[in-house]
Amino acid sequence: MSNFEKKIFDAVREAVRAVYEIDADESLLVVETPKDPKLGDYATSAAMKLARTLRKNPFEIAEALAEKLRGLLPEAESVTVARPGFINFKLKNTALSSLINKIIDAGEAYGRNESGKGKKALVEWVSANPTGELHCGHARNAAWGDSICRLMEASSWEVLREYYVNDAGNQIVMLGKSLEARYFEHFGRDDCPLPENGYHAEDVRRIAEAIAEQDGDRWLTADPQERLAYFMDFGKRRELEKIERDLKLYGVEIESWMHETFFYEDGKKRINECLARMAEMGLTYEKDGALWFRSTDYGDEKDRVLRKSDGTLSYLTPDIANHVHKVERGYPFLVDLWGADHHSYVIRMQAALKALGYPEGTLAVDLIQMVRMVEDGVEVKMSKRTGNAITIRELCEDIGVDAARWFFASKDVSTHMDLDLKLARSKDNNNPVYYAQYAHSRMCSILSNPKTPVFRKQESYERLTDEKELQLLKMLGEFPAEVANDALLRKPNKLADWIIALVKVFHSYYNSCKVINPDDPELTNERLGLVNATRITLKNAMYLIGVSAPESM
């Protein structure tokens, strides 16, 4: 709901109270944009929706409300009624153009809103095992999660950005053993073979060589358990350093790195406390020597094992402890981004939180569908340089960070995606990120051209009366509401669509209206104000999906 829509909505609600002495349900007071702009800038069908409650003709209701609304809305040039009961609002040009100074004064803060004020959320995403490179699937996850955080922060949410490090399972043992094999190989030894299910990537070899360079051959004769523990820790730290470095290259900053091993400290203290709490609440039972969670009581298809008969824990157990710990740290709303193959896992994790007494909706999960790299209609699976899966770093080097962030943020993650590498590299208007960035650079060029008069703010912009100018102003006014809505829905792709719509309107305006007119300095100044307000809004919008706004191209 834009600023103008909010004013009209509030005025309609007040008119209903004043004329009919009732508080109408908000769902009845919908404000929308008419399909035919000649009817007005905005319209409401509230009179028709109130007809049954009031037992009156909707046209009569609309006429009575319109009479009251004309006094409540000084911003409206006209408030008219159309059969069978629509109320149409035409705004004064000055009401629209007053946005220009508001946007210019706000600058980088324009678009920020308070829809999430007082709310806290912990967003956990990427969370790839620290055993190798981040690839293109992680790139989609990373772009989506970071954009969600930016949108929520712009909507006044207090957000913690977290990466969950799976470092307590067999995958880290395999990493350590793989490093041992490559370390022995470095010294010409073949008595420590690479495990069949170990890690064969080149980065494992490089980490082993780093150990050899730092420590020499001391580990060849060391205690095997001590050596494995050292190699596991060294490898994990190196992989995480690389992951953090690549995410920063990609424009993603992680504030909290929560390790799975944290829940195993002090004799599994936090896990055992969680299991004890579940037992006290009657949520678990013993069967066949194993400990089970009664998850079917909370919507799951079958009960789930928490502790196996051999005493080891299932993956679910520390994960429940982790999510409980998130809430206990003061975050009542949790957002996780997982791969699409985790569909059934969503149900059991939400069941666990519900069983433990947390409110419905405590955990929201966005499942990330697969992405394919495509060039000339052919799927590209491997890096040309290494022969392995394409990494985030290689993708950024190939098509650029901006293109990667745009394409991944602009497609809903609930759908499979083909990323056209050739399109992403292109420097023409067929490439949406280029199209948007070019519009921004054009605005900057207009404003910075030595022949352009210096813009001066003025109290009102009454000369902006062209239909395309008013259309552009209306879009600028929608921006804070667009941000709030996209944050609420966690849909950065909707903002990307809005950006393209804004750019199309701007290009249409620029091609039909002469911004710089030496014979009319007053109109020129007002149009420069509109261009500047559009530039600020576009730059702010692009930032929210992690894309830069260059001043020249």
Question: What topology is assigned to 97-115+428-544 in CATH?
Answer: Isoleucyl-tRNA Synthetase; Domain 1 (1.10.730)
pLDDT tens, 161-176? 999 999 998 999 999 9
For the chain, state the CA radius of gyration: 29
Q: What is the pLDDT, as a whole number, of residue 414?
A: 95
Task: Output 319-323 pairs: Cβ under 8 A, ≥24 positions apart.
Answer: 319/349, 320/274, 320/278, 320/349, 320/352, 320/353, 320/356, 321/263, 321/270, 321/271, 321/273, 321/274, 322/164, 322/258, 322/260, 322/263, 323/349, 323/352, 323/353, 323/363
Delimiting residues of CATH 3.30.1360.70 domain(s) in the chain: 3-91
Mean pLDDT rounded to a whole number for the chain = 94
Weakest-pLDDT range from 93-102, 440-449, 481-490, 537-546: 93-102
Which segments of 372-520 does DSSP mark as H helices, in order? 392-399, 401-409, 421-425, 432-448, 467-489, 492-512
Tell me what the mean pLDDT of segment 393-399 comes to: 95
Q: Is the pLDDT of residue 145 over 80?
A: yes
Q: Is the pLDDT of residue 112 over 80?
A: yes
Q: What is the pLDDT, as a whole number, of residue 122?
A: 98
Q: What is the pLDDT, as a whole number, of residue 39?
A: 86
**Residue 212 to residue 293: CA distance in whole angstroms:** 46
Weakest-pLDDT range from 27-41, 48-62, 321-335, 495-509: 27-41
Res. 452 pLDDT band, cuts 50 70 90 = very high
Q: What is the pLDDT, as a whole number, of residue 386?
A: 55
Tell me what the mean pLDDT of segment 55-68 comes to: 95
Residues of the chain with pLDDT > 70, as a percent, come to 99
Q: What is the pLDDT, as a whole number, of residue 187?
A: 97
Res. 387 pLDDT band, cuts 50 70 90 = low
**Residue 99 to residue 73: CA distance in whole angstroms:** 17
Delimiting residues of CATH 1.10.730.10 domain(s) in the chain: 97-115+428-544
Residues of the chain with pLDDT > 90, as a percent, come to 88
- Which residues have a Cβ under 8 Å from the Cβ of 121 and sit 6 or more positions away? 152, 157, 158, 159, 160, 331, 333, 334, 335
Tell me what the mean pLDDT of segment 243-269 comes to: 97
Which segments of 129-284 does DSSP mark as H helices, in order? 136-154, 170-186, 202-215, 224-249, 265-280
Tell me what the mean pLDDT of segment 467-478 comes to: 92
What is the per-residue burial (b if ≥16 Cβ within 10 Å, else e) of 176-194? bbbbbbbbbbbeeeeebeb
Architecture of the structural domain at 3-91: 2-Layer Sandwich (3.30)
Q: What is the pLDDT, as a whole number, of residue 24?
A: 86
Res. 533 pLDDT band, cuts 50 70 90 = very high
Q: Is the pLDDT of residue 385 over 60?
A: no
**Residue 528 to residue 452: CA distance in whole angstroms:** 9
Q: What is the pLDDT, as a whole number, of residue 487?
A: 98
For the record, the structure tokens of 15 come out as 């008119």
Backbone angles phi, psi at 44, to 5 degrees: -135, 145
3-state secondary structure of 167: coil
